[in-house]
A and B are shown apart, each in its own frame.
Chain A
Amino acid sequence: MSAALDIQGLTTRFDTRGGTVTAVDDVSFSVDRGRIMGLVGESGSGKSVTGFSILGLIDEPGRVTDGRVIVEETDLRSLSPDHLRSMRGRKVSMVFQDPMMTLNPVLRIGDQMAMAVRVHEPMSKAKALERARDALGTVGIPSPEERLAAYPHQLSGGMRQRVAIATALLHRPAVIIADEPTTALDVSIQGQILAEVRRLADETHTAIVWITHDLAVVSSLADDICVMYAGKIVERGTAEEVIGQPRHPYTRGLLDSVPGQHAPGTHLPQIPGSTPQLSHLPSGCPFRNRCPRATQLCASAPPLARFGDHTALCHHPLETT
């Protein structure tokens, strides 16, 4: 079975005053139908830009300069702008971080969703509203009929995020990019949404790219994990492999900084230093200034260390933990 989403060598650059910056650097991964891929990284690691690059929604001064984005055997980057637009929402859709902002405050939920239905499938408004109502039902919204007439401000954050997810699901897309959709929510709501997303992936066979900085979230949700650092994927593997036996020192550092697995009262280990500016990356491995295992060797570009399908972009991968 071919992958629902197959990304090869995706590269996105931004022209800034200080020169051209590579926000997404030769990123490759693929997601099969019904699988959830966790794309993990700190702020500024390029994970959201990767999401927007997949949909072809990078605005000036940025541009996708290289790579292929194959959704169900169609390379989105080879399409005309209008053809690409017709793929958005229908084959690939996206959910954003802040549910307070993603819905238009002055339009009714039903009107917004009906618009999204009818842009790809011309039908009467009544039919489109029926479709919207059914979609709201699938994501576990009680009395969906009434919600159609509501305005976004009349719903809670969790409900709004469900509406956004329902909107993304309207055309049963092959792929959904979810950009930190639970970060802004309460922990209890977050749990409900995660369970809902897992169920949807299993039932509708949608491939999901779950962008997050929260390793705890992906470890319980994702099938596979990619760890991004400074625009590059530094480690990739199944969730068990990456969480259970991280190979890249950066992933190790991230895992160690998750609170909860340490004795109360002890200091939480941190990764020293801060995320580097993309315009001032060190040569070779971008993580070497902060890495406890760095040597002279790290000034040259790191090789891809393979452990079966589990890979790490590192000169000195962790052999055992």
Chain B
Amino acid sequence: MLGFVISRLLQAIVVVFAMSIIVFVGVYAIGNPIDVMIDPGATAEIRENLIRQYGLDQPLWRQYVTFLANVAQGDLGRSMVYNTSVTGLVFSRLPATLELVLVAITIATVIGIPAGIYAGYRPNSVAAKAIMALSILGFSVPTFWIGMLLIMAFAVELGWLPSGGRGDEGTILGISTSLATANGWSHVILPAINLSLFKMGLMIRLARAGMVEAMQTDYVKFARAQGLPDRQIVFSHVLRNISIPIVTVFGLELGSTLAFAVVTESVFNWPGVGKLIIDSILQLDRPVMVTYLILVVILFVIINFTVDIVYARLDPRVRLGGSK
């Protein structure tokens, strides 16, 4: 187990390094931020000064080395647009995205998995067919369009919920979050539903496929031959077997939703990191992009690591590498 953790940590460091180089080169190739930042009428002298101030006159490799040296001292740089430290900027936006994603993933799991299990248990029932039809909708209808429909229906026509933005913050266990207030919930619920639909469709299909397959296996037939009721067979025998692929996808989806909830955040004007990255790409705010993408890599590394540990808990045949 310890060997596994260490080898994973080393891998993570290599991945983060490789990623930082790719991001650095990629961002460099997009264009020169000075052209966006500066007034076109500025003199050549002001322009030169700015370029020197940001170190953009240096060759790429030297810029990268400077960047690494700063990172080693815990400094990821300052935003060129907001002129504040990028770590502070990203972490001020992160809680909003975290709470949105948390609510969305919870909705998707709590509804999607039981619905999928039922659809797989009684695949020919009318309810199962309705569930599958809905999952296809969740899959194929574009997120932004559903988001606008939700706003039209619940905010404009019915007037039950606000159309966007984040609600009042409160404190739970010392953490400041909008999930602590009723007003906060009224703001988060529409974007969370919007964000959850695709994932819900995914969970339904995964749970159903696993269920249909598991019900045909010999161990289920054997359990039925022992007189176990179906309910017990599903919960004690099948659920654990089918949860392995579900956990994988759950982890991947959690990561990608955290990183790229951009569309929903834009439609609902949600002040999360997704909106931040889109804005910073438009304004070629280099340090923000680099910091954000490295944060995403770290997130994925942590999630995959957790998923691997959950695997080994679920399936006794899985042995974590490194512990021979």
Contact = CB atoms under 8 A, between A and B. Distances in A.
Contact of A119 (B124, B229, B316): B229
B227 A90 contact: yes
A88 interface: yes
B227 A89 contact: yes
Contacts of A153: 316-317
Interface stretch (A100-108, A232-240, A307-315): A100-108
Nearest to A98: B218
Contacts of B78: none
Contact of A103 (B124, B219, B227, B314): B219
Interface stretch (B38-46, B51-59, B203-211, B235-243): B235-243
A146 B236 CA distance: 22
Nearest to B124: A60
Contacts of A167: 222, 226
B226 A89 contact: yes
B243 to A, nearest CB: 9
A164 B225 CA distance: 11
A119 B226 contact: yes
A87 B225 CA distance: 9
The B interface, classified by DSSP as helix, strand, loop or mixed, is: helix
B221 interface: yes
Interface string A90-104: 100110101001111
Contacts of B221: 57, 96, 102
A120 interface: yes
A55 B241 CA distance: 25
A115 interface: yes
Nearest to A88: B227
Contact of A115 (B217, B225, B232, B315): B232
Interface in B220-275: 221-229, 232, 236-237, 240-241
Contacts of A88: 224-227
A104 B227 contact: no
Contacts of A115: 223, 226, 228, 232, 236
B226 A106 contact: no
Nearest to A116: B226
B230 to A, nearest CB: 9
A252 interface: no
B228 A116 contact: yes
Interface in A54-89: 55, 57, 60, 85-89
B225 A107 contact: no
B245 to A, nearest CB: 13
Contact of B225 (A57, A98, A105, A106): A57
A106 B315 contact: yes
A104 B226 CA distance: 13
Select the residue from A57, A106, A167 with max chain B CB neighbours within 10 A.
A106
A14 interface: no
B225 A55 contact: yes
A29 interface: no
Interface of B: 124, 217-219, 221-229, 232, 236-237, 240-241, 314-317
List of 5 A-B pairs having minimum Cβ-Cβ separation, nearest first: A89-B227, A88-B227, A89-B226, A101-B218, A94-B225
